[in-house]
Amino acid sequence: NAGVTQTPKFQVLKTGQSMTLQCAQDMNHNSMYWYRQDPGMGLRLIYYSASEGTTDKGEVPNGYNVSRLNKREFSLRLESAAPSQTSVYFCASSEASLAVAGELFFGEGSRLTVL
Partner 1 sequence: RKEVEQDPGPFNVPEGATVAFNCTYSNSASQSFFWYRQDCRKEPKLLMSVYSSGNEDGRFTAQLNRASQYISLLIRDSKLSDSATYLCVVNSPGGGADGLTFGKGTHLIIQP
**Residues at the contact surface with partner 1, assessed by CB under 8 A:** 31, 33, 40-45, 48, 50, 56, 58-59, 90, 97-104, 106-109
Taking the complex as a whole, the smallest distance from the CB of residue 16 to partner 1 amounts, in Å, to 28
Burial of 39 (0-12, 13-18, 19+ CB in 10 A): exposed
Q: Which of 90, 69, 64, 95 is nearest to 6 (CA)?
A: 90
Q: How much of the chain is helix, strand and coil, in % rounded to 5?
A: 5, 50, 45
Q: Are 108 and 25 in contact (CB under 8 A)?
A: no
Taking the complex as a whole, the smallest distance from the CB of residue 15 to partner 1 amounts, in Å, to 25
Is 50 or 78 the residue whose CB approaches partner 1 more closely?
50
Taking the complex as a whole, the smallest distance from the CB of residue 4 to partner 1 amounts, in Å, to 8
Is 19 or 43 the residue whose CB approaches partner 1 more closely?
43
Is 37 or 84 the residue whose CB approaches partner 1 more closely?
37
Is 17 or 109 the residue whose CB approaches partner 1 more closely?
109
Taking the complex as a whole, the smallest distance from the CB of residue 41 to partner 1 amounts, in Å, to 7
CA–CA distance, 37 with 15 (Å, rounded to integer): 20
Classify the phi-psi angles of 53: left when phi > 0, otherwise alpha if psi is within -120 to 50, otherwise beta. left
